[in-house]
Amino acid sequence: MFNKILIANRGEIAVRIIRACRELGIRTVAVYSEADKDALHTQLADEAICIGPANSKESYLNMERIISATIITKAEAIHPGFGFLSENSKFVELCEKCNIAFIGPSADIINRMGNKSEARRTMIEAGVPVTPGTKEPVYDAATGKKFADAMGYPVIVKASSGGGGKGMRIVESPQEFETNFNTAQRESVNAFADDTMYIEKYIQSPRHIEFQILADKHGNVVHLGERDCSIQRKHQKVIEESPSVAINQELRKKMGETAVRAAKAVGYENAGTIEFLLDKSGEFYFMEMNTRIQVEHPVTEMVTGLDLIKEQIRIAEGLELSVTQNDIEVRGHAIECRINAENPEKNFMPCPGVIRDIHFPGGNGVRIDSAIYNGYRIPPTYDSMICKVIVHDKDRTSAINKMQSVLGELVIDGVDTNIDFQFDIIGNERFRKGDINTHFIHDEYGL
């Protein structure tokens, strides 16, 4: 078993991982940039090593420095968290070469799922429903248009290396195809140095539903139910919840089994997420697989009672999952609101600065994952998410009421935040009815 784990991340997720390790009796190594000398993860870990300047490229994204820190401190494993190097197959290969356990899937699986058009092909072969569209990659507008004309409009052009909306264009009519295809492809070449595109039928007003899965080295794969992540702004999730009001027990079983089949088809290992689009008629389509722990994992932890970080560590240690599918039950309802240091009045511009006063609510079924404290200076260099508020209660209405109470009590002074915006959504009539889809924020707030 691991005696010491290095956490190749910062912020609340680094703190979250340190806590899990401590509960398991595993020693922890934090790595930090010069901007994070006073950060909570730097203070909470058993050891901390400075790995370079604020700029992520020279610190949290610098593979050699992180590997060196691991070797120097004799850590046996690296937990990458999310973002940074978590989906970098070169880094995973480097870990393998240095005999360091990477807490996540193999380099090969990261590569195969990171290539979205290849992932699509793999899922088609595994009998997983995907959005109607091209089976093979498309490299030029003329070829793409033939497929789109046959499919019927609207279609959506996507970059194979894409994600988060980059290199993606909706095309409403044949006249607009060529321009939109070329724009999306140019964006992809600039962002990912990859001109590989694919085309799908555009699903109108879908829900974003994702299934959490766990897979160990012994061939055991389970799903932990779904998260509804339809409340997004510019492809950034704002609120996530589990379960989804759009999914009944029968559909959960069907989609969950599909997610497990998808994971088995690629010989997946560790924690992963299968993203689906769910349309109004209840049809679901595979969209992408995320090969990392996700920001919103706490809502799944609240409804299943499992600790996903501990399960990830168990899996990397070669142990079997602590549960079978029959042991897993989705109990009650959990909601997460992401609190960002940003100004919703000024186009959600990030607002770094010093935390002058802070009050975190508590109580039954309330969880706050954060790495900020009184007097802490939020550096301008990194993500603006400073806090995740998660609540759990017996049903959705009770969880919404609890979130309303918690957000009303939450105080973060010194920087602008989106707390009031979150409070507004939680009180929104359509949200309360569960009448949500990926366009909710656009439709309700014009954003």
Q: Which of residues 271-300 bind ligand MV4 (CB under 6 A)?
A: 277, 287-288
Half-sphere exposure of 242 (CA within 13 A, CB side): 22
* 236 bridge partner residues: 233
**Binding to ligand MV4 by residue 165, rule CB under 6 A?**
yes
Question: Judged by CB, which is closer to ligand MV4: 135, or 235?
Answer: 235
Nearest residue to 112 (alpha-carbon basis) of 317, 313, 215, 265: 265
**Binding to ligand MV4 by residue 438, rule CB under 6 A?**
yes
Which region among 48-56, 142-150, 198-206, 305-313 touches ligand MV4 (by CB under 6 A)? 198-206
Torsion of CA 35, 41, 42, 46, to 10 degrees: -170
CB neighbour list of residue 87: distance below 8 Å, 6 or more residues apart = 110, 114, 290, 291, 292
- CA 12 remoteness from chain centre: 14
Site residue total, ligand MV4 (CB under 6 A): 16
Question: Judged by CB, which is closer to ligand MV4: 201, or 254?
Answer: 201
| C-alpha span between 226 and 130 (Å, rounded) | 18
The nearest distance, CB 287 to ligand MV4, in angstroms, is 6
| C-alpha span between 93 and 351 (Å, rounded) | 37
The nearest distance, CB 235 to ligand MV4, in angstroms, is 5
Out of 105, 114, 137, 206, the only residue in the binding site for ligand MV4 (CB under 6 A) is 206
The nearest distance, CB 32 to ligand MV4, in angstroms, is 31
The nearest distance, CB 205 to ligand MV4, in angstroms, is 9
**Binding to ligand MV4 by residue 60, rule CB under 6 A?**
no
* 348 neighbors 418 (Cβ within 8 angstroms): yes
- Looking only at the bridges linking them, the beta strands covering 353-354 and 377-378 are antiparallel
Out of 41, 79, 207, 208, the only residue in the binding site for ligand MV4 (CB under 6 A) is 208
Q: How many other β-carbons are positioned within 10 Å of the β-carbon of residue 27?
A: 17
| C-alpha span between 203 and 186 (Å, rounded) | 24
Nearest residue to 184 (alpha-carbon basis) of 171, 201, 202: 171
Question: Judged by CB, which is closer to ligand MV4: 217, or 235?
Answer: 235
252 is annotated as an active-site residue = no
**Binding to ligand MV4 by residue 154, rule CB under 6 A?**
no
Question: Judged by CB, which is closer to ligand MV4: 32, or 202?
Answer: 202
DSSP string, 71-108: HHTT-SEEE--SSTTTT-HHHHHHHHHTT-EESS--HH
Question: Judged by CB, which is closer to ligand MV4: 36, or 288?
Answer: 288
Give the total residue count for the chain.
447
The nearest distance, CB 315 to ligand MV4, in angstroms, is 26
Which region among 50-58, 199-207, 258-266, 289-297 touches ligand MV4 (by CB under 6 A)? 199-207
Question: Judged by CB, which is closer to ligand MV4: 86, or 417?
Answer: 86
Strands (E), 205-249: 207-215, 221-233, 236-242
* 367 bridge partner residues: 390
Out of 202, 276, 284, 431, the only residue in the binding site for ligand MV4 (CB under 6 A) is 202
The nearest distance, CB 422 to ligand MV4, in angstroms, is 18
Which secondary-structure segment (H or E) carries 257? helix 249-265
Out of 42, 56, 70, 131, the only residue in the binding site for ligand MV4 (CB under 6 A) is 131
**Binding to ligand MV4 by residue 232, rule CB under 6 A?**
yes
The encoded tokens of residue 268 equal: 């997946």
Nearest residue to 110 (alpha-carbon basis) of 82, 96, 90: 90
**Binding to ligand MV4 by residue 203, rule CB under 6 A?**
yes
Place of tokens 């799908």: 200
**Binding to ligand MV4 by residue 306, rule CB under 6 A?**
no
| C-alpha span between 275 and 210 (Å, rounded) | 4
**Binding to ligand MV4 by residue 188, rule CB under 6 A?**
no
Which region among 44-52, 56-64, 201-209, 424-432 touches ligand MV4 (by CB under 6 A)? 201-209
Catalytic annotation, pick one of 292, 314, 338, 396: 292
The nearest distance, CB 376 to ligand MV4, in angstroms, is 32
The nearest distance, CB 442 to ligand MV4, in angstroms, is 7
Out of 235, 346, 394, 430, the only residue in the binding site for ligand MV4 (CB under 6 A) is 235
Active-site amino acid positions: 292
Q: Applying CB under 6 A, which residues contact ligand MV4?
A: 131, 156, 163, 165, 200-203, 206, 208, 232, 235, 277, 287-288, 438
